[in-house]
Structure 1
């Protein structure tokens, strides 16, 4: 009788503890992008992913893990090609940041749109919420290119009901104090500006994906 009672007590304690354990499981966000996500030429802890991770944990999202799936030089075509293995089965949400290299290389905006739409369709099929980080065409590409490229992001965000951040480099682009010598990639201070500005949208993404601050 004693052993039966002890076993029942252990089972009850395990069941009661299960929800708390589940709440502590890592909530993985994949930052799927290019050099802007990967932290090009930045030191440990200075890139977008580690700075975002730190900001989220400071704001109470203790169980959130931001995974870096940024590949420097990647285009939307490259991203589409590695999507299935780049966004693993444990992914709860995705920050999609691709297209800057398409614009710099003058890739046909129709192809950029088609690639992004296919990425979004696949993620939607997997029921993974997305924060779409928008991009703007460089002015030197000309007004016609900009007219074709710039609407891609808001239109796809509206079509798929995404959390949307219009311009990933907002507050940083063309600021010499916040970019590297190439004038394009953000330095550590520039990344800090980007993280501060996009953070509310990331928190909206987490809530949309069913996550919450620890203890809530």
Structure 2
């Protein structure tokens, strides 16, 4: 794996999956990523319960204060859990991507999936938005990192929604090659 020699600033814009819900910040995957990439400044702009609308509201301030080289977008799960229309998800993510790119940042988009009990039509239209945006904006789409974690109860907190401390290293190793690849380009 090729690691760039320059020091990049990476902004993680996410929800509870990236904020380390239910554990200390030091235990979360973003901190473990910092340990893997000590030459880079990694800013965790993630907030538990965040929707794409909330991320969009906070993004201009985060872009101005951090001047990131890379924005990793891990948002949409709370939109899906609240049953928001996929069109609103797409509109908000489009604006987040556009604002990030206008600020000169590369963008990595993390696919999000909703639980199957939301129905196959909603789940499919929800997930397709991530693929459409990746194609439309020529950005890399990271497959949903919870796909292999969520079915394994030993990697989940009691709520069945959030990964536990044991899952954090797995998430870090899932995200690391995607991030280093974009930084190396």
Q: Same fold (TM over 0.5)?
A: yes
Report the alpha carbon displacement of residue 170 of structure 1 after superposing the two structures with TM. Answer: 3.2
- Any residues of structure 2 matched to 1:37-116 within 5 Å, and which? 37-56=18-37, 62-87=38-63, 88-116=65-93
Encode CA deviations 1:113-169: one digit per residue, 9 max, x unaligned. 110001111111122101111101210101121121010111111111112202131
Report the alpha carbon displacement of residue 24 of structure 1 after superposing the two structures with TM. Answer: 8.4
Structure ID, larger Rg:
1
Moved over 3 A (4+): 23-26
User: SS at the partner of 1:83?
Assistant: helix
- C-alpha distance in structure 2 between counterparts of 1:190 and 1:86, whole Å: 27
The answer to whether the 8 Å contact 2:56/2:96 transfers is yes
The answer to whether the aligner puts 1:205 opposite 2:182 as a matched pair is yes
The answer to whether the 8 Å contact 1:170/1:194 transfers is no
- Any residues of structure 2 matched to 1:21-40 within 5 Å, and which? 26-40=7-21
Structure 1 unaligned segments of length 5 or more: list them. Answer: 1-22, 57-61, 209-216
Report the alpha carbon displacement of residue 26 of structure 1 after superposing the two structures with TM. Answer: 4.4
Give the TM-score normalised by the residue count of structure 1. Answer: 0.79
The answer to whether the 8 Å contact 2:111/2:142 transfers is yes
- C-alpha distance in structure 2 between counterparts of 1:164 and 1:128, whole Å: 15
How large is the RMSD of aligned CA atoms in angstroms? 1.7
Report the alpha carbon displacement of residue 43 of structure 1 after superposing the two structures with TM. Answer: 2.1
Q: Which structure would you say has the larger RCO, counting Cα contacts within 8 Å and 6 or more residues apart?
A: 2
The answer to whether the aligner puts 1:156 opposite 2:133 as a matched pair is yes
The answer to whether the 8 Å contact 1:174/1:183 transfers is no
Structure 2 unaligned segments of length 5 or more: list them. Answer: none
Encode CA deviations 1:68-127: one digit per residue, 9 max, x unaligned. 100110100111111101233431111110000011110001100110001111111122
Aligned residues: 181
